[in-house]
Amino acid sequence: MTRAAQLIRDGGLVAFPTETVYGLGANALDDKAVARIFQVKGRPSSSPLIVHVTDEEMARSVTAEWPEIARSLAARFWPGPLTLVLPKAASIPDIVTAGLNTVGVRVPAHPIAHELIRRAGLPIAAPSANRFTEVSPTTADHVRAVLGDRVDTIIDGGPTQVGIESTVVSLVRAQPAILRPGMITARELEHATGVPWTSNPTGANLSESPGLHPRHYAPRTAFYVLERGQTRPKGRGLILDMPHDPIAYAATLYARVRQADAEGWDWIAVNKPPDAPEWAGILDRLRRATTPR
């Protein structure tokens, strides 16, 4: 961990576990280090990064404003899979935020992620540790298979627990909005803040949050979400037998898709989960991964 923290301070790239997926981290205050993230992932500059911090104090250091709603959400959900989009501090380079004047920030719940940030002594910008638009990694082996020696070190913390990326919310709009759904639901956000929330707000653009590109989280094999009674695709395929509980489903989704992707099928599919609030983050990932028919 000491070496990994020093690599971050020296402008290196470190893949590390969070409770959601494995991240590809660099010093969020170093534009040259952050540029390496985009290069290694093949990520367009229009897609912003999330800044990971140890606590509310560090979050305040990378934001220009900290309204009461941010305090309420941080108290309820941090450490955890919730990213807050707020006006950015001048110390955050434009490359981190896709040129916007806002920044997404969160406190990860994984002890290794927390300790890495603490020892580095600075905020860490980190998207998922994979190639852009492909399936996010939930184990260190996933990172090794895709990025190999293109990163300076990979910290193995075992499988991630949540399994899909964080809920991203905007606190700079007239009404707070969910930009990217995750495993924290609109109902939970409304209960924590006492105000109504909107999802998929009008006027949202691809640069406002990571994970908004139409094609994302996708395997190389054709992938489908099957409605009840829908005809199966032609060819030799596999319908994944997924858990009925959303928490267990999210925790295993990416690993199951990755495994099937390596098995040489003509197509992979899942049956469509329930259209319910607790499934919103999963349905979002499935929709963006689906191959057009």
Residue 12's pLDDT is what?
97
Residue 204's pLDDT is what?
61
Look up residue 81 and give its two tokens.
């899979």
Residue 206's pLDDT is what?
64
Q: pLDDT tier at 199 (50, 70, 90 boundaries)?
A: confident
Residue 200's pLDDT is what?
73
Q: pLDDT tier at 137 (50, 70, 90 boundaries)?
A: very high
Q: pLDDT tier at 36 (50, 70, 90 boundaries)?
A: very high
Residue 253's pLDDT is what?
97
Residue 131's pLDDT is what?
93
Q: Would the pLDDT of 207 be above 90?
A: no
Q: Would the pLDDT of 211 be above 80?
A: no
Read off the pLDDT of each residue in 269-280 and give the average, rounded to a whole number. 96
Q: Would the pLDDT of 202 be above 60?
A: no
Residue 151's pLDDT is what?
96
Shortest CA distance to 124 belongs to which of 254, 22, 250, 251? Answer: 22
- Are the CB atoms for 100 and 48 separated by under 8 Å? yes
Give the pLDDT confidence of 253-263 residue by residue, as tens digits: 999 999 999 99
Read off the pLDDT of each residue in 274-293 and give the average, rounded to a whole number. 92
Residue 166's pLDDT is what?
97
Helices 246-261 and 280-289 meet at what angle, rounded to 10?
A: 20
Shortest CA distance to 237 belongs to which of 228, 251, 226, 252? Answer: 226
Read off the pLDDT of each residue in 133-151 and give the average, rounded to a whole number. 94
Give the pLDDT confidence of 220-246 residue by residue, as tens digits: 999 999 998 788 899 999 999 999 999
Residue 292's pLDDT is what?
82
Burial 58-88 (b: 16+ CB within 10 A, else e): bbbebbeebeebbeebbeebbbbbbbbbbeb
Helices 140-147 and 246-261 meet at what angle, rounded to 10?
A: 30
CA-CA distance, 267 to 142, in Å (whole number)?
Answer: 21
Please report, rounded to a whole number, the percentage of residues in the chain having pLDDT higher than 70.
Answer: 97
Delineate the domains of the chain, giving CATH numbers in brackets.
2-199 (3.90.870.10), 222-289 (no CATH)
Look up residue 221 and give its two tokens.
């094999």
Q: Would the pLDDT of 82 be above 60?
A: yes
Read off the pLDDT of each residue in 154-182 and give the average, rounded to a whole number. 95
Shortest CA distance to 104 belongs to which of 81, 132, 138, 133? Answer: 81
Read off the pLDDT of each residue in 49-73 and give the average, rounded to a whole number. 97
CA distances to 116, 186, 223, 236, 288 from 263, rounded to whole Å, are 35, 37, 13, 11, 22
Residue 201's pLDDT is what?
65
Read off the pLDDT of each residue in 174-202 and give the average, rounded to a whole number. 91
Q: pLDDT tier at 73 (50, 70, 90 boundaries)?
A: very high
Give the pLDDT confidence of 98-133 residue by residue, as tens digits: 999 999 999 999 999 999 999 999 999 999 999 998
Q: What angle do CA 20, 21, 22 make, to 5 degrees?
A: 135
Residue 53's pLDDT is what?
98
Q: What is the mean pLDDT of the chain?
A: 94
